[in-house]
Structure 1
Amino acid sequence: MIGTIVNVIAIVAGSVIGGTLKRVMSERVSSTLFTAMGVAAMVLGINSAVQNMSNSSYPVLFIASLAIGGAIGSSLRLGERMGNATSRRGGKELGQGLVTGCLLFCVGTLSILGPVQSALYGDATFLFTNAMLDFVTSMVLASTYGVGMCLAAVVLFVWQGSIYALTVLLGDFISGSMMTELSIVGGCLIMMSGISILGLKEIKTLDFLPALAVPVLWCPIAPLLSHLL
């Protein structure tokens, strides 16, 4: 777990530095960074989805995931609850920033495989590398949304800690197929955040967060179903 702890510290440190810079930035510069984050999120999301699409074993799974996840999330009003919580801490922009940050920090090869490598082999190389990337990302995000981006570190800790614990209990349960499907769905969610940041369409990205659970549940049972059918 040392790698995850370093990753958390990196996000907190980056958020504090970025949040401090935000206070001395002009509104014009802040607006420019806001636009830059929207474009960056869209590009990263599209790249993640398109890059993995050709390797998908279940080409329509991401559609089903978004539909099922969106239905569950909107029924639970996840986006609305997040908006109400963050409005008391820093406004709607912080909420959007946290959603984008959590997706960028958690939905990635290093962030998912890192805890697996650490649990199975005691190797935290992936997590240390991820920590350096997240330090820079959190600094940029916090310079746009404020020091409240530190809250994303809590989500990362729970995410990576859960993967670590499941790997200890179940072994190497994250298959290459699951990683591919998660990357596609995650890319779609990151792209949604980018669209919202740029103001092209208001999307409650958090409502779609349960979509990430669909590939995790489907990939282990799909081979069993194919044998039965």
Structure 2
Amino acid sequence: MIGTVFNCLTILVGSTIGSIFKKGLKKNYQDILMQAMGLAAAALGISSVVQYLPSSHYPVLFIISLAVGGVAGEWINLEKRFQQLVGRFSKSHLAEGLSTAILLFCVGTLSILGPIESALKGNETYLFTNAILDGVTSMVLASSFGIGIAASALVLFLWQGFFYITADTMANVMTEDLLTELSIIGGILILSTGLSILGIKKFKTLNLLPSLLIPVIVFAFKALLW
């Protein structure tokens, strides 16, 4: 778990530095930073989809996952519940920033494969690489949304901790094909949050989060049957 702890620390440090810069930034600079983060998120999302979609052996799975997961998320209304929770602590647009941070930090191959490699092989390389990227990203996000971005470190710790602890039991499920499907869906979710930040279209991205569970369930059943 050393890599995960280091990853969380870089987010905390980056968020602190970014929030300090935010206090001295005029609104026009904060606006341009938000536009930059929106464009960056959209670019990362497109890159992930373009990179992994051609490698998919189940080209329809991501469509089914988004449809089923979206309906489930809308029924639970994760977006509204998350905004209400964050609204208890902040009246600003922190909810949008936190949802962006959580998606960027958690929904990625490095953040999933990293803890698995750490648990099974003692290899922390992926997590250390991810930590540097997240540290810089959290700095930029906090300069736009404030110190509240640091809360995403707790979510990341629980996310990576889950994969670390269950690595042994999920080893036969966490195949390259599954990581490919998760990366495709994750890329779409990151793209949607980027478009939301840019004001192009307001997506209920958090309501689509259950989509990530669908490939896991499908591959788990596949592993049991075979």
- Short-chain TM bin: over 0.9
Q: Distance in 2 between matches of 1:92 and 1:211?
A: 28
**1:191 aligns to what?**
191
**2:74 aligns to what?**
74
- What code does the residue aligned with 1:43 have? A
Please report how far the alpha carbon of residue 123 of structure 1 lies from its aligned counterpart in structure 2 after TM superposition. Answer: 1.7
Alignment of 1:134-149 (within 5 A): 134-149=134-149
What are the Cα deviations for residues 145-196 of structure 1, in whole angstroms up to 9, with x where unaligned?
Answer: 1110011101100110000011134435310000000000001100110111
1:32 equivalent in alignment to 2:35 = no
- What code does the residue aligned with 2:63 have? I
- What code does the residue aligned with 1:115 have? P
Q: Distance in 2 between matches of 1:73 and 1:62?
A: 16
Alignment of 1:1-229 (within 5 A): 1-91=1-91, 93-171=93-171, 173-222=173-222
Q: Distance in 2 between matches of 1:9 and 1:86?
A: 22
- What code does the residue aligned with 2:134 have? D
- What code does the residue aligned with 1:220 have? A
Q: Distance in 1 between matches of 2:52 and 2:78?
A: 27
Please report how far the alpha carbon of residue 78 of structure 1 lies from its aligned counterpart in structure 2 after TM superposition. Answer: 0.5
- On the 8 A contact 2:173/2:219 being kept in 1, the answer is no
Q: Distance in 2 between matches of 1:124 and 1:133?
A: 15
Please report how far the alpha carbon of residue 211 of structure 1 lies from its aligned counterpart in structure 2 after TM superposition. Answer: 0.5
Q: 1:76 to 1:166 in 2, by over 3 A?
A: same
Please report how far the alpha carbon of residue 90 of structure 1 lies from its aligned counterpart in structure 2 after TM superposition. Answer: 2.5
- What code does the residue aligned with 1:72 have? A
Q: Distance in 2 between matches of 1:59 and 1:185?
A: 11
Unaligned runs of 5+ in 2: none
Secondary structure of 1:54's aligned partner: helix
Q: Distance in 2 between matches of 1:46 and 1:190?
A: 8
Q: TM-score under structure 2 normalisation?
A: 0.95
Deviates more, 1:180-189 or 1:84-93: 84-93
- What code does the residue aligned with 1:110 have? L
| Percent identity (aligned) | 49
Q: Distance in 2 between matches of 1:161 and 1:221?
A: 23
Q: Distance in 2 between matches of 1:121 and 1:190?
A: 29
- What code does the residue aligned with 1:141 have? L
- On the 8 A contact 2:193/2:203 being kept in 1, the answer is yes
Q: Distance in 2 between matches of 1:92 and 1:63?
A: 34
Unaligned runs of 5+ in 1: none
- On the 8 A contact 2:114/2:125 being kept in 1, the answer is yes
Q: Distance in 1 between matches of 2:83 and 2:100?
A: 14
Q: 1:65 to 1:91 in 2, by over 3 A?
A: farther
Please report how far the alpha carbon of residue 220 of structure 1 lies from its aligned counterpart in structure 2 after TM superposition. Answer: 3.2
Q: 1:171 to 1:181 in 2, by over 3 A?
A: closer
